[in-house]
Structure 1
C-alpha cells in the first residue's frame, strides 16, 4: 500500500500506449492520473475493476452501455466492472481515475 504519495514520488507507467501516473494505493482502491495525448485512443475493453473518473483537462468521448458521453473539464463518470468501454481523445489533457479493486496490470 502507498497511502501517501508525493508528486515527485509518483510512479510513471505506460499501458496500451497511454502514459499515466500511479498515485495512492489503498487496500481496495487505486488512484491514477491519465496523461492523454491527442494521438492516444483506448479501444473497447473491459476489466474486473469499477472505474470512476474526474476530468482535470481535455475533451473526451466516452462510450459504454450503448451510449456516448462528451466529457470536458470538471465532468465525472463511473463505469461498472466488466462493462466494455472506450475513450476517444478529442483534446489532450489529464483525467484522475479511481479503480476498485486495484488494477494489478497497472502495477507491472
Structure 2
C-alpha cells in the first residue's frame, strides 16, 4: 500500500493489491486506505472469532458487511447482522464475538498508526 500519513491516499484501490494480516485465531484484517485523519479497515471473521474487548483513543465506526456478531460497547450488548452498525467513542471499551462468519468494515479517526 502506497499510503503515507502525510501523503494523499490513492483515489482507487484494488483489494487484490492489499495484504491480509492475521490478528487473532479466526480473525484477519486488511487495511483498505488511510490518511492521518481516517483509516478504513476490513476485518474478516471465522465463526467463533473474537475481537477482544479493548479501548483506544480513536473514534470507531463499524459496519456489518456480512455475518452475525454479538457486539459489546460499554455495558451494552446487541446481536448485529448485515447492514447494522455500531459506534465506539474514544476510549470506550468494546469488543465482538462472531456468531456466523462475516466481515466488519471499521473506520477509525484518527488513523490507527499502530496497525501500520
Q: Following TM superposition, by how much is the alpha carbon of 1:11 offset from its aligned partner in structure 2, in angstroms?
A: 2.8
The match for 1:74 is 83
What TM-score results when the alignment is normalised by the length of structure 2? 0.84
Q: Determine helix, strand or coil for the equivalent of 1:82.
A: coil
Q: Is the 8 A contact 1:58 1:93 kept in 2?
A: yes
Q: How many residues align?
A: 107
The match for 1:86 is 95
Q: Is the 8 A contact 2:48 2:99 kept in 1?
A: no
CA-based RMSD of the aligned residues comes to: 1.4
Q: Distance in 2 between the 1:55 and 1:67 partners?
A: 17
Question: Does the alignment pair 1:8 with 2:16?
Answer: yes
Higher Cα Rg, which structure: 2
Q: Following TM superposition, by how much is the alpha carbon of 1:55 offset from its aligned partner in structure 2, in angstroms?
A: 0.7
Q: Distance in 1 between the 2:71 and 2:80 partners?
A: 7
Task: Please list the CA deviations of residues 13-50 of structure 1 after superposition, one character each: whole Å capped at 9, or x if unmatched.
Answer: 22244201110112300001110111311221111111
Q: Gaps (5+ residues) in structure 2?
A: 4-8
